[in-house]
Amino acid sequence: MSETVGAVSVWDHLNKVLEFRYRANLPKVSIILPTYNDAQALSSTLQSVWEQKYPDYELIVIDAGSTDRTLEIVDSFRTDNLRVFSAAHFNRYKMWNQGASLARGRYLSFLYPGASYLWCYSLAYMMNLALQHSEPSIVYSGSMMRSGDGEASILFRRYDDEQLSKGLQPTALASCWFRADTFGLLRGFSEVYPVRGSLDLLCRALHSPGARAVATSRVLTDHTPYSDSQARILQHAFDTWRLVARHYGRQKAIRWLLSQQDLGRLAGLWWRSLRTAFLGR
């Protein structure tokens, strides 16, 4: 379903970007950003959006009742292509779905505070790629991932059943651009997976008839993973188990579980969570 386009020189690429910048058929991009008390991480994300040298995009912010400076920071970046909406409760996938239902763009980009575009031509590069390949269902790029201690690594994999059945995404969600009609046909993110809704969406997209994906190995986003709290680690593992079993069968799910190097750690976390629930310590 996916094909990878090799990297080109910066100058060759810039020439192509400038060629496409003023074409009437450039696809509009809707960037959807859910927020909730994210003042500390928000500015860098918004700055990377406003620095985009792309003529037709909108930013949709969905806020779940922030009580810190989040909305003040959003307002400081206000332009005509910013729209702000509210959500009753914080649920990142539900808020992304809400934003998608309000979007006017041909392609959807899903960010969160702490994720950012690394290059002012990130949108232009990816939409250039989309136009060159007849607007596929998904275009994706590499992503830089930063651990809690600041160590950086590159996330870029093939987008196929072999990777997904191991619980491995091809890249960070911030590095995926979904065509809006494809996202609608897939009915958006499932809201029943608290941590791995993006893996579920990518599995469903891969198996959707007629869907296509095109990728570039160029690293265009900076992605700081969510906190690695005990509860989140357990939820990540539980979601992955359920998703692999759902899309690839229980045997694949068992194989995934047995392949986990931190299986003992997961078992220990699970036991401690049970002990805390029943004994309070």
Q: CA geometry: angle at 234 spanning 256 and 242, to 5°? A: 45
Q: What is the pLDDT of residues 180-215, one digit of tens each?
A: 999 999 999 999 999 999 999 999 999 999 999 999
Residue whose C-alpha is closest to residue 164's, from 192, 126, 136, 205: 205
C-alpha to C-alpha distance for 124 and 138, rounded to whole angstroms: 15
Q: Which residues contact 136 (CB under 8 A, 6 or more apart)?
A: 130, 179, 212, 213, 214
Convert the pLDDT of each residue in 104-118 to its tens digit.
999 999 999 999 999
Euclidean distance between CA atoms 220 and 118, whole angstroms: 5
pLDDT per position as a tens digit, 229-276:
778 888 889 999 999 999 999 999 999 988 886 655 555 555 455 444
Residues whose CB falls within 8 Å of the CB of residue 80, separated by 6 or more in sequence, listed in order: none
pLDDT at 274: 45
Phi, psi of 248 (to 5 degrees): -130, 0
- CATH architecture observed for domain 2-223: Alpha-Beta Complex (3.90)
Strand 138-146 with 152-155, pairing = antiparallel
This prediction has a pTM of 0.87
Distance from chain centroid for Cα 276: 33
CA end-to-end distance (rounded Å), the chain: 49
DSSP state of 156: -
